[in-house]
Structure 1
Amino acid sequence: MTTLWQASQQIHSAEAHPESFTEAALSAASDINGEGKRVFLSLYAEQALLTSQQAGARWLAGKPKSAIDGLPVSIKDLFDVANEATTAGSNLLASAQPAQQNATIVNRLIQAGAAIVGKTNMTEFAYSGLGINPHYGTPANPWRRDEKRIPGGSSSGAAVAVSDGMCLAAVGTDTGGSVRIPAALCGLTGFKPSARRIDQTGTLPLSTSLDSIGVIAHDVRSCWLLDAVIADAPLTLSECDLTQARFAIPQTRVLDGLDENVSHAWMNALERLRTAGATLVELPLEALAELESMNARGGITAYESWQWHQQGAQSNPEAYDPQVLTRLQRGSLLTDQDAEALYQQRAAWKNKVEAELTGFDGMLMPTVPRVAPTLAELDNSAVYMQINALMLRNPSIINMLDGCAISLPCHQADTAPVGLMLASTQGKDAQLLSWALAIEIILIRGN
């Protein structure tokens, strides 16, 4: 499948026109036998095609707005689009007042000439890593689609839109893994930048202390290309030599409970990196064990999300997904004093972990410890909560660290998708993506 990076290169060399990519994306989105009706909550077919056609003329004139001018991308239903209600995958906001203006990232996409094909489905209010939505349906994972496996969340529609060719890349959000989890489960690449690199104005919040805006695409360069458009400043990538790399492999929590597929792909990926000359250091990083107690009562996410949802959850609880409502209500039990203690704990924990990671080029871990379960498996509420916590466990570490991370596909071809996560501390985004490029080459060669 053509990547965003490849499409940009083809247009630049006049081998293709942007309209062809947008037409293909819209065709996939409108296929009655496809997942489009569960992927998109709003489809902007006419406008996307017009945008792409106008971009084609600019490319022919040698005056494109950006490297992605006219190429099809999607946006998560958390971002304001002027004159539309931002529903965040909910029933509660279906009749909300329309947004008065676009979110900052939407304006940046428009300024870059991107063909925004539509708003993608998601876990209601982004409060789950599974991607299930009882209101609008759940897009099926591309892996063994007939088995109806979850796509991962909360940016569920974003991942399936990319995997099924309904766009070349997608913009999502990531508060505890909501870009990286669906990327890992769907065999894609998901990048969560340091939170403050991308302006979140016009983005419906989940937890303002942990929210970040990220991207999903087929490869590292495509993520970098889209990130460069929506971020406050583009990243400069450099060539990295894996024989000079020193990566930490945390030993606390992150390797617990790996299923057979993930364990095999994980060990195979590490062996390939060692063969390529990378130094891999097992690091106890015992501070990771502290997160369990910090989040035992819902943590910062529960407290902050309750501040936003308190009125709606109390006056109209039946409008919520029961699984989401249960998690939101945990925040009602946390006082301002509890929250202040959590913020202090987080700051101390962050300093401790950053100190232990000094001297490393990043840390490696499985993005999630198991492959995508079927929707049927999650009908039981207790199982839902158990697997949701498992999926969020590793990615959420990086949000608590306020760091950056990328999930790369590391499974063998024709096997269940598995993600390898490379992560680093705050502000190391350029170095992270540069190392990810080098790792990606090794993982691809292994296939």
Structure 2
Amino acid sequence: MPAIRDKVERSLAQIEAAKTSNVFTKVYTERARSEADAADTRRRDGTRLGPLDGTIVSIKDLFDVAGETTTAGSSLLRTAAPATQDAPVIARLRRAGAVIIGKVNMSEFAYSGLGLNPHFGTPGNAVNRAHAPGGSSSGSGVSVAEGTSEISIGTDTGGSVRIPAAFNGIVGFKPTVGRIPTTGAFPLSYTLDSIGPLARTVQQCADADAILSGGEPREVAPFPLENLRIGIPRGLMFENVDAVVGAAFEAQVNALAQQGARVFDVSINDLILAMRQATSPGPIAAIEAAAVHADWLDSRAADYDPRVLSRIQGGRSVTGAAFIRMMRTRNELIGAMDARLAEIDALMLPTVPTVAPAIAPLESDDELFGRINLQTLRNPMLGNLFQLTGVSLPVRTDSLPVGLMLLARGGSDAKMLALAKGVQDGLQLN
């Protein structure tokens, strides 16, 4: 078996060769080598710490690492005080023997589904560098897809793990909110933020999730496809689906049915419309981000990406009373969705209705950026607003990758991973 140090050296060389690609914001060269050597020693001694021991992991640039500034993809925080300790998820990764190779790029303050960043540059999509990487965990998606890390740890507030997974052709897992501690991760939304892994396989995501949530990794038994109950929420979530995505999705629906899965349409349009009405005063993320950024929005407005600033400022006008009513109605709708999903194993829909868009038009056109950003977030946001757990699986096409998304009831994370592994294995989505 090749030495872990050799594997790490190959990744470091690849990162150095492509250092202008904007994927990494910080590389822990010497520490990664030291961690690789320690993992090799444990392997020789027979004291391996588990499946993440010696695994190359990158982390989104919003997690605290002791002794360094957490910039969260923004120039505004370049001079902030350094973190005094590792975020709990980082400490857990280190205890599991992971080789943390570096921090990866992201949308500023995690507030975009497309992954553009004017401060640190935009990493191009791993399949086609002229196309968007997906956000906000942009560098995470690209680093795993290009092979500079085996697993990357991102955050998902409105799809920010699943979108880059879909755009780059890998797996992204969004756990139920509260499963993994968010302490030491710069917040976008206290209500919606969750921390999740991106990797090439569901098993790798499950191993990382177990460590991040304080559990023990174990082999995931694939959920049998025979009689799997899959609901297709046709309607609002299928508007403006492009031809590539639509064809890829229908092919997987047919393949599942041929393997014995029970695939049928379900209606959730009423719940989606009710949630849109409930949140019409303003997006939850914008309202909570306005509170997070309250001390900077006026005094340091010039330091923000203007597109991020405008969305955060949009949350300032929502009153406390309106926000409380919104959240109470949301809780009722979460319960209604949970009841609606009780008779199926998962919803299945395209992660994003289109393949990754080209970067250049998005950079030059604010209206286009805003419209495509909202379109990109629409489907995965379903999981965040209704407090579900979900996975995006990769579907190969003749052009850019497509994401196949599974969503299930909140708290059913172990079952979600088993479902995803069954679908990934059965449909050979690798």
Name the TM-score class by shorter chain.
over 0.9
Asked if the contact 1:410/1:443 (under 8 Å) is kept, the reply is: no
Q: How far has the Cα of 1:229 moved from its partner?
A: 1.6
Q: How far has the Cα of 1:143 moved from its partner?
A: 2.1
Higher mean displacement: 283-292 or 392-401: 283-292
Asked if the contact 2:281/2:322 (under 8 Å) is kept, the reply is: no
* AA partner of residue 327 (structure 1): R
**Counterpart of 1:351?**
335
Q: How far has the Cα of 1:124 moved from its partner?
A: 0.2
The separation in 2 between residues aligned to 1:182 and 1:60, in whole angstroms, is 36
Alignment of 1:320-335 (within 5 A): 320-335=304-319
Q: How far has the Cα of 1:189 moved from its partner?
A: 0.5
Match of 1:188 among 166, 170, 174: 170
Number of paired residues? 427
**Counterpart of 2:198?**
216
Match of 1:22 among 8, 24, 28: 8
**Counterpart of 1:227?**
209
Alignment of 1:46-445 (within 5 A): 46-145=30-129, 148-234=130-216, 237-286=220-269, 287-378=271-362, 379-412=364-397, 414-444=398-428
Give the TM-score taking structure 2 as reference length: 0.97
Q: How far has the Cα of 1:35 moved from its partner?
A: 5.5
The separation in 2 between residues aligned to 1:395 and 1:35, in whole angstroms, is 31
Gaps of 5+ in 1: 1-14
Asked if the contact 2:211/2:217 (under 8 Å) is kept, the reply is: no
Higher mean displacement: 71-80 or 292-301: 292-301
Q: How far has the Cα of 1:62 moved from its partner?
A: 0.2
Asked if the contact 1:175/1:212 (under 8 Å) is kept, the reply is: yes
Q: How far has the Cα of 1:66 moved from its partner?
A: 2.3
Asked if the contact 1:30/1:37 (under 8 Å) is kept, the reply is: no
Gaps of 5+ in 2: none
Asked if the contact 2:158/2:380 (under 8 Å) is kept, the reply is: yes
The separation in 2 between residues aligned to 1:182 and 1:324, in whole angstroms, is 18
Asked if the contact 2:88/2:183 (under 8 Å) is kept, the reply is: yes
**Counterpart of 1:4?**
none
RMSD: 1.4
Q: How far has the Cα of 1:295 moved from its partner?
A: 3.7
Match of 2:27 among 43, 46, 49: 43
Higher mean displacement: 270-279 or 225-234: 225-234
Asked if the contact 2:63/2:185 (under 8 Å) is kept, the reply is: yes
Identity within the alignment, %: 39
**Counterpart of 1:3?**
none
The separation in 2 between residues aligned to 1:36 and 1:351, in whole angstroms, is 47
Give the TM-score taking structure 1 as reference length: 0.93
Q: How far has the Cα of 1:299 moved from its partner?
A: 2.0
The separation in 2 between residues aligned to 1:46 and 1:36, in whole angstroms, is 20
* AA partner of residue 39 (structure 1): V
